[in-house]
């Protein structure tokens, strides 16, 4: 299987490259930066490409593209997020016409205004979002499904593991002394996705002969409580802090006044409401084998 991977210099894309290399697949890795650490991308051939700027010149001949590149932030500048996540996806589709596209989307496409309870794939996209990241991810999914001849959309949630650039660093920003400020009360359930499991799901989607198209939630075998997850992530980072919960009812009015803050409405909706996913479709149709949530040791 000849693979192209966008976002290869990032957390998820790097894991996909390494998993593909371990499977013996030839990979062309793409990132925006000029050069990549060969170890991070599993020794793949590397090319620099800003997907927001335009189509790729002289694309390699591949069987599938795993599209991980994105502006993966809830506090990004709207124009940049749309350019990378939607226009960039358009350029990926235009650069690899006829190829199978494995599009790494996000569980952010589910309704942020109400709990996500063992959500099934048909429940998203919705008509309302709390930030441009989620809105652009939803729009990009729809574009991929409309344009690609073979489109497999994967929706992970709260991806964690070695090399995390997003979830753990974002949590650590809210550590004050020996306390981590967390919206809600810690008791709600959350589906987490281990990065190696997500990488394996990407390879299954790239190679699946009987599944040319579809949308699949990708997560660990069962949801965990926010409190368990937060304590586990802090321990895995070797940070001696404990969660201090802030009631969503108190935070929400503040978040309306300071919409771009760290504890914004999107963050509150992610921590104070259940965010669990039904992963039956991935297990039954892709052959995905989930593992229990477990955090790497420090």
Ligand X SMILES: NC(=O)c1ccc[n+]([C@@H]2O[C@H](COP(=O)([O-])OP(=O)(O)OC[C@H]3O[C@@H](n4cnc5c(N)ncnc54)[C@H](OP(=O)(O)O)[C@@H]3O)[C@@H](O)[C@H]2O)c1
- Interface residues with ligand X (CB under 6 A) are 7-13, 31-33, 49-52, 68-72, 84, 88, 104, 106, 137, 156, 158-159, 165-167
To ligand X, the closest distance from the beta carbon of 149 in angstroms equals 21
Please state the closest distance from residue 80 (CB atom) to ligand X, in A: 8
Residue number, 118 or 254, with CB nearest to ligand X = 118
The residue (of 15 and 241) whose beta carbon lies closer to ligand X is: 15
Within a 10 A sphere around the Cβ of 182, how many other Cβ atoms? 23
Question: For residue 178, with 0-12 CB atoms within 10 Å meaning exposed, 13-18 middle and 19 or more buried, which class applies?
Answer: exposed
Nearest to 281 by CA among 224, 220, 190, 215: 215
- Residue 293 C-beta: closest distance to ligand X, Å: 13
Which of residues 166 and 213 has its CB atom nearest to ligand X in the complex? Answer: 166
Q: Residue 24 Cβ, how far from ligand X at the closest point, in Å?
A: 23
- Please give, one letter per residue, the 3-state secondary structure of 163-210: CCCCHHHHHHCCEECCEEEEECCCCCEECCEEHHHHHHHHHHHHHCCC
Work out how close the CB of 261 gets to ligand X at its nearest, in angstroms, rounded to a whole number.
20
Please state, as a whole number, how many other Cβ atoms lie within 10 Å of the Cβ of residue 232: 17
Rank residues 20 and 257 by Cβ distance to ligand X and give the closer one. Answer: 20
Can you give the length of the chain in residues? 298
Q: Which token pair is 271?
A: 């921590």
Structure token digits, residue 58: 């002289």
């Amino acid at each position: 299987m000849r693979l192209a991977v966008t976002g290869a210099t990032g957390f998820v894309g790097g894991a996909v490259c390494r998993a593909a290399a371990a499977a013996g697949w030839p990979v062309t890795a793409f990132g925006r930066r000029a050069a990549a650490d060969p170890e991070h991308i599993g020794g793949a051939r590397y090319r620099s490409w800003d997907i927001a700027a335009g189509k790729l010149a002289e694309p390699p001949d591949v069987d599938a593209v795993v599209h991980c590149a994105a502006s993966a932030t809830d506090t990004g500048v709207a124009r940049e997020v749309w350019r990378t996540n939607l226009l960039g996806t358009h350029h990926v589709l235009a650069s690899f016409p006829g190829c199978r596209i494995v599009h790494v989307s996000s569980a952010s496409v589910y309704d942020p205004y109400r709990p996500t309870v063992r959500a099934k794939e048909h429940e998203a996209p919705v008509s309302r979002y709390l930030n441009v990241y989620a809105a652009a991810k939803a729009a990009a999914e729809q574009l991929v499904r409309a344009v690609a001849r073979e489109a497999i959309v994967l929706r992970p949630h709260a991806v964690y593991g070695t090399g995390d650039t997003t979830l753990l660093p974002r949590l650590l920003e809210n550590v004050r002394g020996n306390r981590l400020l967390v919206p809600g009360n810690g008791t709600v359930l959350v589906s987490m996705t281990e990065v190696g499991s997500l990488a394996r799901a990407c390879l299954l989607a790239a190679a699946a002969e009987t599944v040319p198209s579809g949308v699949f939630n990708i997560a660990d075998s069962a949801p965990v409580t926010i409190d368990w997850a937060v304590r586990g992530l802090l321990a895995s980072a070797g940070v001696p802090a404990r969660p201090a919960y802030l009631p969503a009812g108190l935070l929400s009015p503040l978040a309306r006044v300071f919409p771009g803050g760290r504890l914004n409405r999107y963050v509150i909706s992610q921590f104070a409401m259940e965010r669990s996913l039904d992963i039956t479709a991935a297990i039954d149709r892709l052959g995905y084998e989930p593992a229990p949530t477990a955090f790497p040791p420090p």
